[in-house]
Amino acid sequence: MAFSPTLYTPTSTPLPSLSLPHTSVSVLGSTAHSSTRLRSMSAKNPPGYLSVLHRAVVEEEEYRKARAEVNRKGTELEGLSVEGFSIGGLETCIVLPTFNSVFDIGRCPSRAVNQDFLFITHAHLDHIGALPMYLATRSLYSLKPPTVFVPPCIKEDVERLLEIHCTMSNVELNVDLVALDVGETYEIRNDLVARPFKTHHVIPSQGYIIYSLRKKLKKKYAHLNGSQIKKLKNQGVEITDLILVPEVAITGDTTSDFILDPKNSDALRAKVLITEATFLDEENDVEHAKEHGHMHIFEIMEHAQWFQNKAILLTHFSSRYTVEDIRVAVSKLQSKLSCKVVPLTEGFRSAYT
Residue 269 scores a pLDDT above 50: yes
Claim to verify: residue 85 and residue 175 sit in the same structural domain:
yes
Looking at residue 202, what is its pLDDT? 97
The more confidently predicted of residues 36 and 164 is 164
Claim to verify: residue 37 and residue 66 sit in the same structural domain:
yes
**What CA–CA distance (Å, rounded) separates 66 from 324?**
7
Claim to verify: residue 137 and residue 259 sit in the same structural domain:
yes
Claim to verify: residue 97 and residue 152 sit in the same structural domain:
yes
Claim to verify: residue 31 and residue 85 sit in the same structural domain:
no
Q: Write the DSSP symbol of residue 136.
A: H
Claim to verify: residue 241 and residue 269 sit in the same structural domain:
yes
Q: What percent of the chain has pLDDT over 70?
A: 79
SS3 letters across 250-278: ECCCCCCHHHHCHHHHHHHHCCEEEEECC
Q: What's the rounded mean pLDDT across residues 205-233?
A: 86
- Count Cα atoms within 13 angstroms, Cβ side, for 52: 13
* 65-74, 204-213, 240-249, range with the lowest pLDDT: 65-74
Looking at residue 193, what is its pLDDT? 97
Residue 94 scores a pLDDT above 90: yes
Residue 57 domain boundaries: 24-70
At how many degrees (to 10) do helices 155-169 and 131-140 cross? 50
Residue 242's CATH number: 3.60.15.10
- Kindly report the pTM of this predicted structure: 0.76
Q: How many residues does the chain have?
A: 353
Per the DSSP assignment, residues forming a β-bridge with 211 are 193, 246
Residue 201 scores a pLDDT above 90: yes
Q: Is residue 64 domain-resident? A: yes
The answer to whether 27 and 57 are in contact (CB under 8 A) is: yes
Residue 18 scores a pLDDT above 50: no
Residue 30 scores a pLDDT above 50: no
Claim to verify: residue 302 and residue 330 sit in the same structural domain:
yes
**According to the per-residue pLDDT averaged within each range, which of 72-76, 169-173, 206-210, 226-230 is highest?**
206-210
Claim to verify: residue 140 and residue 87 sit in the same structural domain:
yes
* 145-159, 167-181, 191-205, 334-348, range with the lowest pLDDT: 334-348
Residue 54 scores a pLDDT above 80: no
Claim to verify: residue 185 and residue 291 sit in the same structural domain:
yes
Q: Could you read off the pLDDT of 178-197 as tens digits, one per residue?
A: 999 999 999 999 999 999 99
Claim to verify: residue 146 and residue 222 sit in the same structural domain:
yes
Claim to verify: residue 50 and residue 84 sit in the same structural domain:
no
Domain total in the chain: 2
